[in-house]
Chain A
Amino acid sequence: LFSLFQTLTGNKTLAEEDLEPVMAALAQRLEERNVASEVAHALTESVASNLIGQTLPSMTSVKYAAKQALTEALTRILTPRRKIDVIREAHAAREAGKVYSIVMMGVNGVGKSTSLSKICYWLRQNGFSVLIAACDTFRSGAISQLQTHGKRLGVDVYEQGYGGDPAAVAKAAIGRAVREGIDVVLIDTAGRMVKNSPLMKALAKLVEVNLPDLILFVGEALVGNDGVDQLMGFRQALIDHGTTSRNIDGIVLSKFDSVDDKVGASVSMVHASGGIPIVLVGTGQNYTDIKGFSVKGVVKALMK
């Protein structure tokens, strides 16, 4: 009876066995909300190990303390250490008389070209001139997809047709932007699987030849455990097949409008990559459906 009294009213020193069931339930909740298994368990284990041995103030339940600690941990992980301000960077480049280049990369169908056209719209709203480089020279319809967006947005699309070397197309596009005084070049690339090493090599070459100012990885909010493998695979491929230190700077989290409260993919990608920030979030299929990332909103959806 005495020990029961203690758990209820506090002054209780937390032991592993108090935390185990609570943390297992929290890990399962994170998994349900689409946090990758490995990440969910790593997170709850680290929260538990911080709590062991702590004394709870009176009237605090173990469950409440664990939830509180996990909320703090998630907030800490998702909060970027370095904020990427695309508009400011593009301004700085323009003032220095340089063309600012952004490359989009990711697996097939995640929303690279659509996100690129949203970024294009956003840059145009902020007064930048833009050239789109059609470096997906493989997928059927990829070039006309961009041309359709270009026409709607009043922006030229630089292309050399299908079958060409994407690195060379990007280089020629940047060259044209330099000559014509265009502020920003947006480089679209073909979707590819991490396991497809010829295609990953070609992507590394594009980065090496063009040294883009901003490298954005596009990952779907819908992706499950594979999200981590995709992001880490692209990063590793740029290391393995390249000789420059340029690598992924940030993440575009697409299709955020199709997951309801299953927002965990964001946590998986940021945690597994050791803090690559989510720069932009895609929230629909229109040009204005692009937003900043709300750490608070995501943590709330995960913990409620």
Chain B
Amino acid sequence: MVLGALGSRISDALRNMSNAMLVDDKVLNDMLKEIGNALIAADVSVPLVLNLRKAITQQVNMEEMAQGINKRKLIQTAVFQELINLVDPGHKPYVPVKGQTNVIMLVGLQGNGKTTTAGKLGYYYQRKGWKVGLVCADTFRAGAFDQLKQNATKARIPYYGSYTETSPVVVAADGVDKFREEGFEIIIVDTSGRHKQEEALFEEMAEVAEAVEPDTTIFVMDAAIGQAAQDQAEAFRERVDVGSVIITKMDGSAKGGGALSAVAATHSPIVFIGMGEHIDQLEPFDASSFVSRLLGRGDIMGLVSK
């Protein structure tokens, strides 16, 4: 598991606290500092880590008033709860509806894996029996249409794109209209990579969204991103209605914490993780089992609900 090192540092910090003779403020602070350092080393954004530390302290101090509570257990539970909050904002992702058209738009930073993920996602739904079409609304990147086309062809998924039309808004609208008329159930719109520093690119994204009226927009983010993740993700959320997140390249050595910060920034759950370059290397994501794997324990839900 990619997050193994983070998990063992957090577990160690919890264990050290549990072994302390007396859990006073210093023991609690040392533990929180160590957990904070572990999260920052895994690329979770620094402001987010400071908030998390504050939230745990508050939770512990509030309940301290009550008599007869096991303090160690209380702290552990608070830590688990805050970690789960980090990957699970409580929102449910969009669930495609059978027998009707579901338009899914993919957005994200340059090179983060949108086009590859479009193919993987299409393949995932097609194998489950949905009628899927891919639309290439990236008219900027050299070779973008050929890339999508080759992936679609390998997976035998119908695709739409243009070598001559230069407006992504026009291609996106035409492609979605065509597939909609033909009764496709899942239409995946791949868009160009962009970043918040270039307003024209963000404006273009908003226009594509307006033209295709997606049922859901997925923010695709690379697991290796560092401290810029939160700012970028927030900027995307401000311009389009991000509903969920896919983290890519989880097969690499990255810890994925930057991408986790994107969850907090977009208030959107992770729905899939990318585990390789091949079309079948996409895994559904479940937040609580992720955290329990992270900390190497199976009984996490039981612990949280006490």
Given contact pairs A109-B113, A193-B249, A257-B195, A222 touches B46 in the complex (Cβ within 8 A) = no
A37 to B258, CA, bound (A): 13
B111 touches A37 (CB 8 A): no
A139 within 8 A of B: yes
- A125-133, A226-234, A293-301: which lies at the B interface? A226-234
Report the count of interface residues on B (CB-CB < 8 A): 49
- B13-21, B123-131, B219-227, B282-290: which lies at the A interface? B219-227
Contacts of B113 in A (CB 8 A): 108-109
B246 within 8 A of A: no
A143 to B150, CA, bound (A): 12
Chain A 115-132, CB-CB to B under 8 Å as 1, else 0, gives 001000000000000000
Q: How far is the CB of B188 from chain A (nearest CB, A)?
A: 15
Q: How far is the CB of B143 from chain A (nearest CB, A)?
A: 3
A109 touches B150 (CB 8 A): no
B254 within 8 A of A: yes
Contacts of B232 in A (CB 8 A): 258
A37 touches B151 (CB 8 A): no
Q: How far is the CB of A157 from chain B (nearest CB, A)?
A: 11
B109 within 8 A of A: yes
A257 touches B41 (CB 8 A): no
Contacts of A95 in B (CB 8 A): none
Given contact pairs A31-B46, A144-B146, A148-B143, A109 touches B197 in the complex (Cβ within 8 A) = no
B195 touches A225 (CB 8 A): no
B112 within 8 A of A: yes
A255 touches B141 (CB 8 A): no
Report the count of interface residues on A (CB-CB < 8 A): 49
A212 within 8 A of B: no
A146 to B146, CA, bound (A): 12
Q: How far is the CB of A158 from chain B (nearest CB, A)?
A: 16
A226 touches B254 (CB 8 A): yes
Chain A 20-49, CB-CB to B under 8 Å as 1, else 0, gives 000000001001111011100000000000
A291 within 8 A of B: no
Contacts of B32 in A (CB 8 A): none
B227 touches A31 (CB 8 A): yes
Residue of A nearest to B195 (CB): A258
Residue of A nearest to B44 (CB): A224
Chain B 220-240, CB-CB to A under 8 Å as 1, else 0, gives 001111111101100000000
A31 to B305, CA, bound (A): 34
A34 to B47, CA, bound (A): 12
A184 within 8 A of B: no
Contacts of A226 in B (CB 8 A): 43, 223-224, 226, 252-255
| B98-117 with Cβ < 8 A to chain A | 109-113, 115
Contacts of B141 in A (CB 8 A): 145
B254 touches A139 (CB 8 A): no
Contacts of B115 in A (CB 8 A): 141
Given contact pairs A109-B222, A225-B43, A139 touches B228 in the complex (Cβ within 8 A) = no
A66 within 8 A of B: no
A141 touches B147 (CB 8 A): yes
B227 touches A229 (CB 8 A): no
Q: How far is the CB of A162 from chain B (nearest CB, A)?
A: 8
B40 within 8 A of A: yes
Which of B42, B144, B228, B251 sits near A222, CB closer than 8 Å? B228
Chain A 225-254, CB-CB to B under 8 Å as 1, else 0, gives 111011001000000000000000000000
Q: How far is the CB of B163 from chain A (nearest CB, A)?
A: 10
| B224-275 with Cβ < 8 A to chain A | 224-229, 231-232, 249, 251-255, 257-258
B85 within 8 A of A: no
A283 to B227, CA, bound (A): 18
A196 to B222, CA, bound (A): 17
A141 touches B226 (CB 8 A): no
B150 touches A225 (CB 8 A): no
Q: How far is the CB of B122 from chain A (nearest CB, A)?
A: 13
Instruction: Give me 14 other A-B pairs in contact (C-beta within 8 A), A223-B224, A258-B109 excluded.
Output: A31-B227, A141-B147, A141-B148, A148-B142, A148-B143, A193-B249, A222-B225, A223-B226, A224-B43, A225-B41, A255-B111, A258-B195, A258-B228, A260-B231
The 14 sampled A-B contact pairs (Cβ below 8 Å) are A32-B227, A107-B252, A108-B113, A141-B143, A141-B145, A141-B148, A143-B143, A148-B142, A193-B249, A193-B251, A196-B251, A226-B254, A258-B196, A264-B226
B residues adjacent to A (C-beta < 8 A): 37, 40-43, 46-47, 109-113, 115, 140-151, 154, 195-198, 222-229, 231-232, 249, 251-255, 257-258, 277
